[in-house]
Chain A
């Protein structure tokens, strides 16, 4: 099956700093989502981005499907950005829609 690797596994930032999180996947996909898991465990859907670039406020994401990676950019980080960021991918084979998750990047933003 598809392997999903996220890097770095842990990241500590000072408030106001920028960061880039990476997601590599081992096969072609037609679904890629980025999630933020907050301290209460809720999964917040940040981007649905199987290809291309999207921006939402201080966050943006780029997926280069042909090279099998996606990047999540966080600019001017805030303490509320702390939590775990997950990349999840899905393949079209059989069109089951099921997602395969990476292990996550744990982000801590210090005031």
Chain B
């Protein structure tokens, strides 16, 4: 089984719909991240969480919300989807501590908003 699992893998929906993307991890990491990738570009950070009670905005959080239901689960919601939110979304996990450690990424969710 994958260490970082994203569901769904693909989703097509209509403008104005509410969408939830889910991420779960088995690595036991305290930190979780949501990134967005637009075609031809690198990833940009949407939200990140250090633990269940610590959630922070990234550089492009407008139009998104998140929920950290448990240490292992971190969900991303689009309350009212719009076409320019069509992108590839990645969840990642990492550890804290004295030094940075590598982040581990899920396989991505390809979201299309018509």
What residues of chain A have their CB less than 8 Å away from a CB belonging to chain B? 4, 30-31, 33, 35, 41-43, 45, 48, 50, 86, 88, 90, 92, 95-104
- Extra A-B contacts (8), CB below 8 Å, given A4-B42, A99-B92: A33-B102, A41-B107, A45-B105, A48-B101, A90-B100, A97-B48, A99-B103, A103-B40
Which residues of chain A are near B95, meaning CB under 8 Å? Answer: 97
B99 touches A30 (CB 8 A): yes
A30 touches B42 (CB 8 A): no
What residues of chain B have their CB less than 8 Å away from a CB belonging to chain A? 31, 33, 35, 40-45, 48, 56, 58, 88, 90, 92, 94-97, 99-105, 107-108, 110
Chain A residue with the shortest CB-CB distance to B48: A98
Which residues of chain B are near A33, meaning CB under 8 Å? Answer: 102-103
In the assembly, what is the distance between CA of A35 and CA of B58, in Å? 21
In the assembly, what is the distance between CA of A86 and CA of B101, in Å? 17
Contact of A101 with B99 at beta-carbon distance under 8 Å, contacts A41-B88, A45-B104 already known: no
Chain B residue with the shortest CB-CB distance to A37: B37
Partner of A43, one of B44, B45, B100, B108: B108
Contact of A48 with B102 at beta-carbon distance under 8 Å, contacts A97-B96, A98-B48 already known: yes
B88 touches A97 (CB 8 A): no
A97 touches B94 (CB 8 A): yes
A97 touches B100 (CB 8 A): yes
The 10 sampled A-B contact pairs (Cβ below 8 Å) are A4-B42, A30-B99, A31-B100, A41-B107, A45-B103, A48-B101, A96-B56, A97-B31, A97-B95, A101-B42
* Minimum CB–CB distance for B58 against chain A, Å: 7
Chain B residue with the shortest CB-CB distance to A49: B102
